[in-house]
Amino acid sequence: MMKKYVFYFLAFVCITTIKAQTVFHTKDIENFYLAFDSIQATTNKEKQIDFVQKIYLDNGSLGVEYAINHSIDGGKRATAKHWVDLMNNSQEHLIKIRPYFTNLSSQMKILEPKFKYFKEQYPGFKDGDVYFVMGLGMFGGRPEREGPNLFIGCELLANEKPDWAVSIVLHEYVHTLQNQSDNALLAHCLYEGACDFVSEVINQKSLVETYPGGYVGFGHSNETAVWKQFKKFIASNEKGVYFDWLYGVKGRNLNGEQVKDLGYFVGYKICKAYYDKATDKKQAIKDIIEMDVSSDEKARAFLIASGYAAKGDSKFIKNFKFEKITEVKKGLKLIQYGYKLDKENIIFTFALPKNMREEEIEYVTIAGSFNGWNPDNSNYKMTRTGTGIYQFTLRKKDLKEVYHEFKFVVNGEFWQAVPESAKNTQNGNLTLEIK
């Protein structure tokens, strides 16, 4: 009888140990390319959709399910048709990146001991699974909103580096352990910089060695100039407004170069300064991962605690006031975009971007705070009034509030980015103010 109990105990321990490990799921990549190869055999769209549905979606992991639910703006679920369109329209890109997955399993073997080391350095580590999927270009690395899992959009992140997945997974996994940030520039640079720095510690390889070019290499060579320009925007209190410091937009122009994502570098250097200053390194890792950037003032407090800013900046750092910052770009005239007001009406106007062809447009709608951000509301469908021009008229009295935010949406799913020349923007949306 005792032997039976011992067997049950050992079985329980094995199951617990397995469950308590991070598992890396790569099967979806294989299934994606099986579906990709299959649709090359036919030009029949319905057959192509059937191939993708049965081979990729029906056999998909939790990662594919996540991609289905998080790849279309407006909360709509993606379908096999969306992936067929991706395969047909991005065929050259998908063929190019295919060799980058041949050593994915060996990269996972590199990650396993690094995750073990991660747990040693940060006792608060929580195990979750990592899913490598082919999405629709809507997310690169994305932590589960409520849970420890991580989803990697490989169509965006795979590259020619032989260990590309290692550094990406380490960076993105830190996000699964952090408190969420949806704040302004300084807080969000700390949020991203923390991931860069912690991944460097866990990888036991300098970030400059991992990313010799881009914002890392440029930042190290031009740190004084980067910090000097960043200080001009550090007081911004607008959520979601990052002034080209973050998220792969066109970047900042410094010393004659246009460099993307320099906000990551600023956050990284602040976190590194905090770590270098600390005597208890494990506690410093904990502080960096668990930093509270839920308010602008808490972000300022971490910056001060890091000691990163030079003594000459200490008074400025302690005393600047968080407020709305407006960047005036030379040679760019800012205009009110998207609508005009007459005595009784709001007249919305959308001009088709140059990269979209008229024959691709089925319909254009307006989605905003005044209609629940619903891109499928036919009551807000625009009328084509000329080549590439769409208009919609709404009575002022139909809107109860004075201030609203909105976007134009093409074919119910393509949410249009705010033009650089628009002055009426907030949170990445167009703004409407009824006077």
Whether residues 246 and 273 share a domain: the answer is: yes
Find, among 154, 268, 143, the residue nearest to 214 by Cα: 268
The parent domain of residue 302 ranges over 183-319
Q: Cα angle at 330 between 326 and 336, to 5 degrees?
A: 55
Q: Is the pLDDT of residue 423 over 60?
A: yes
CA distances from 391 to 101, 339, 344 (A): 46, 9, 16
Whether residues 165 and 198 share a domain: the answer is: no
Question: Could you tell me if 72 and 414 are in contact, meaning their C-beta atoms sit under 8 angstroms apart?
Answer: no
Torsion of CA 280, 283, 289, 291, to 10 degrees: -100
Q: Higher model confidence: residue 93 or residue 76?
A: 93
Q: What CATH code is carried by the domain that includes residue 408?
A: 2.60.40.10
Task: Give helix then strand counts, H and E, for the chain.
Answer: 17, 15
Whether residues 127 and 57 share a domain: the answer is: yes
pLDDT in tens, 190-244: 999 999 999 999 999 999 998 888 899 999 999 999 999 999 999 999 887 888 8
Q: Which of 180-184, 202-206, 330-334 has the lowest mean pLDDT?
A: 330-334
pLDDT in tens, 241-270: 888 899 866 788 888 888 989 999 999 999
Residue 60's contacts (CB-CB under 8 Å, 6 or more residues apart) are 28, 31, 67, 68, 133
Q: Give the pairing type, strands 24-25 and 130-133.
A: parallel
pLDDT in tens, 346-371: 999 999 887 677 777 889 999 988 88
Indicate the pTM of the whole model.
Answer: 0.74
Torsion of CA 179, 180, 184, 189, to 10 degrees: 70
Whether residues 31 and 58 share a domain: the answer is: yes
Give the span between the Cα atoms of 366 and 430, in whole angstroms.
Answer: 11
Give the span between the Cα atoms of 365 and 245, in whole angstroms.
Answer: 30
Q: Is the pLDDT of residue 74 over 60?
A: yes
Whether residues 146 and 194 share a domain: the answer is: no
Find, among 50, 35, 133, the residue nearest to 91 by Cα: 35
- Token match 């001991």: residue? 113
Whether residues 171 and 28 share a domain: the answer is: yes
Q: How many domains does the chain have?
A: 3
